Structure formats: C-alpha cells, structure tokens
Amino acid sequence: MRIALFVTCLADTLYPSVGRATVRLLERLGHQVEFPQGQTCCGQMHINTGYQKEALPLVRRYVETFEDCEVIVAPSGSCVGSVRHQHPMVARACGDEKLAQRAEAAGRRTFELSQLLVDVLGVDDVGAYYPHRVTYHPTCHSLRMLRVGDRPLQLLRRVEGLDLVELPDADVCCGFGGTFALKNSDTSTAMLADKMRRVLDTRAEVCSASDSSCLMHIGGGLSRLRTGVKTVHLAEILAATRAAA
C-alpha cells in the first residue's frame, strides 16, 4: 500500500528518530512510504490556545498537502485527533464550509499509527524485537478522541523479548495539554508528578506512548529527576528488530 507520512512538526524538528522508525517499520511490512514535502504542522497548538484565525492557513495547508493521498499516517494520536475533529470545526468557525468538507474527507483517511497497523493493514505482529521492561501510557487523545482502545498493547504484546508491565491509572492525563503546561504549569507539574509515580512504581526501564508531545512531558520530568527511566515512542519499539539490535 502507498502510505503518506504526516510526521508532525514536533517529531520532524525534535524527534526525527520517530519519523525514521515509522518509515522503517512500514517499509519492512512491505509498504511504500511517501513524505509530501508541503507538510508543516496541524495547528493544534493554535486551536487549543484560542488562535483559530492563525490556525486556518495550517488547516488549508494540511488539506492541500494530503487530500490526494489514499492513506495518511501520523505517529501522534493528538495530531490525528486535531486533523479529524478540529480541522472541520476551525474551517466552519472561519466561514469556509468548502474547506471544512475537504478537511473532513482528508481526516477520514488520516490514521494514528496503531490504528493503521491493526485496523487498516490488519497486523498485530510486526516482527519486532525489544528486550526491555516497558510500560505504556495510552495518551488522552488516542483514548478519548480516536478510541484506539488497546491496539497499541496488542502490538506490544507481540514484540519478542518485551516485558510489558501494566501502568496503573493509565488513562489519567500526564498534565501536558500543550500550552496548559505553560499557562498552568503548577497544576501540570502536579499531574506529571502523579504520572511519574505510577511509571516508577512499575519498575519499567522504558515508558512508551504513541505521542511525542506526551513523551516529551513525561520524559522531561523523568530526566529532570534523574530517574533512570527513559521514554521511547511506540514506533521506535515496533521498528526495532533483532538484526538492528
């Protein structure tokens, strides 16, 4: 299958290894990955901070870049949630019904990585090897905007060598919330502290998720306290093989 990658601005700029892992994984499964060069950012930060007018050009850019692609994948539940649910809403709020309909069509073909693998490509064993103790934070927008359910766990359970430990209170937010972490940094930090306590209680070496933004938040806290636990994106675990290890 030809699959267009929406790498997301955060992975592109700060976590390119997540994008490379997504490409490696999908190519290993026999698919052809494209990277439309016109892509930039989904605009979620603007929308969630109240700057819908500023987000409109980014909605238009996403639609124009991806509307001819058959299937689009992004290694971020949050960005896919924004594409699917917020893009049409922003276009409508700005009075552009035509763009809203094009955004809806593009959104229907945009998938979060675990949804693409399990629902569209029909695989749960991707042939990965990752000999580490891992716990998984399911992320709010994956759970409650996209309803990915336990698809990431289905994929992780089939990874050879991986010791998957359940994260208590997994469905509770880590406290990131985009500019929430800046505007309400004290409350955000209190939420982060509780999330980190849960992660540390599992004695995992690695906390994984399918969203670089949540991982930047949780990982930023784990690093600051020198906990010795690192954050690794789901794509990087699924891309790892015995050969590469």
Partner 1 sequence: MSTYLGMPTAPKGVGHLRGSEPFPAAARRALADTQLRHNLAMATATIRAKRAAVVAEVPDWEELRAAGQAAKAGAMRHLDRYLEQLETQVQARGGTVHWATDAVAANRIVTDLVAATGSREAVKVKSMVTDEIGLNEALAAAGITAHETDLAELIIQLGHDRPSHILVPAIHRNRAEIREIFLREMAAVDPALTDDPAALAEAARLYLRRRFLAARVGISGANFAIAETGTLCVVESEGNGRMCLTLPDTLITVMGIEKVLPSWQDLAVFLQLLPRSSTGERMNPYTSMWTGVTPGDGPRQFHLVLLDNGRTAALADETGRQALHCIRCSACLNVCPVYERVGGHAYGSVYPGPIGAVLSPQLTGVEENASLPYASSLCGACYDVCPVKIDIPSVLVHLRARHVDEARKERRLPHAEAIAMAAASWVMAEPRRYSAAQRAGRLGRPLGRRGRIGQLPPLLSAWAQARDSPVPPSQTFRQWWRDEHRKPS
Looking at residues 177 to 196 of the shown chain, list those that interact with partner 1 (rule: CB under 8 A): 177-192, 194
Tell me, by CB under 8 A, how many residues bind partner 1: 72
Q: Measured between alpha carbons, how far is 158 from 149 in angstroms, rounded to an integer?
A: 16
Question: Does 137 participate in binding partner 1 (rule CB under 8 A)?
Answer: no
- The nearest distance, CB 55 to partner 1, in angstroms, is 7
Question: Does 107 participate in binding partner 1 (rule CB under 8 A)?
Answer: no
Window contacting partner 1 (CB under 8 A); options: 92-100, 111-119, 128-136, 198-206: 92-100
Question: Does 45 participate in binding partner 1 (rule CB under 8 A)?
Answer: yes
Window contacting partner 1 (CB under 8 A); options: 38-46, 120-128, 154-162, 203-211: 38-46
Question: Does 47 participate in binding partner 1 (rule CB under 8 A)?
Answer: yes
User: For partner 1, which is the closer residue by CB, 128 or 215?
Assistant: 215
- The nearest distance, CB 115 to partner 1, in angstroms, is 17
* Pair 64, 98: CB distance under 8 Å: no
Q: Measured between alpha carbons, how far is 17 from 235 in angstroms, rounded to an integer?
A: 9
Question: Does 66 participate in binding partner 1 (rule CB under 8 A)?
Answer: no
Question: Does 73 participate in binding partner 1 (rule CB under 8 A)?
Answer: no
Question: Does 32 participate in binding partner 1 (rule CB under 8 A)?
Answer: no
Could you list the beta-strand ranges (E) of the chain: 2-5, 32-34, 71-74, 110-112, 133-136, 163-165, 206-209, 230-233
- The nearest distance, CB 125 to partner 1, in angstroms, is 27
Q: Measured between alpha carbons, how far is 81 from 42 in angstroms, rounded to an integer?
A: 10
Q: Measured between alpha carbons, how far is 151 from 154 in angstroms, rounded to an integer?
A: 5
Helix axes 212-224, 185-201, angle to 10 degrees: 80
- The nearest distance, CB 195 to partner 1, in angstroms, is 9
User: For partner 1, which is the closer residue by CB, 40 or 154?
Assistant: 40
Helix axes 97-108, 52-66, angle to 10 degrees: 50
Q: Measured between alpha carbons, how far is 33 from 64 in angstroms, rounded to an integer?
A: 18
**Residue in 6, 25, 52, 111 binding partner 1, rule: CB under 8 A:** 52
- The nearest distance, CB 158 to partner 1, in angstroms, is 27
- Residue appearing with tokens 């891309």: 239
Number of residues written out for the chain: 245
Question: Does 46 participate in binding partner 1 (rule CB under 8 A)?
Answer: yes
User: For partner 1, which is the closer residue by CB, 117 or 173?
Assistant: 173
**Residue in 28, 29, 31, 61 binding partner 1, rule: CB under 8 A:** 61
Q: Measured between alpha carbons, how far is 30 from 74 in angstroms, rounded to an integer?
A: 18
3-state secondary structure of 225: coil
DSSP state of 191: H
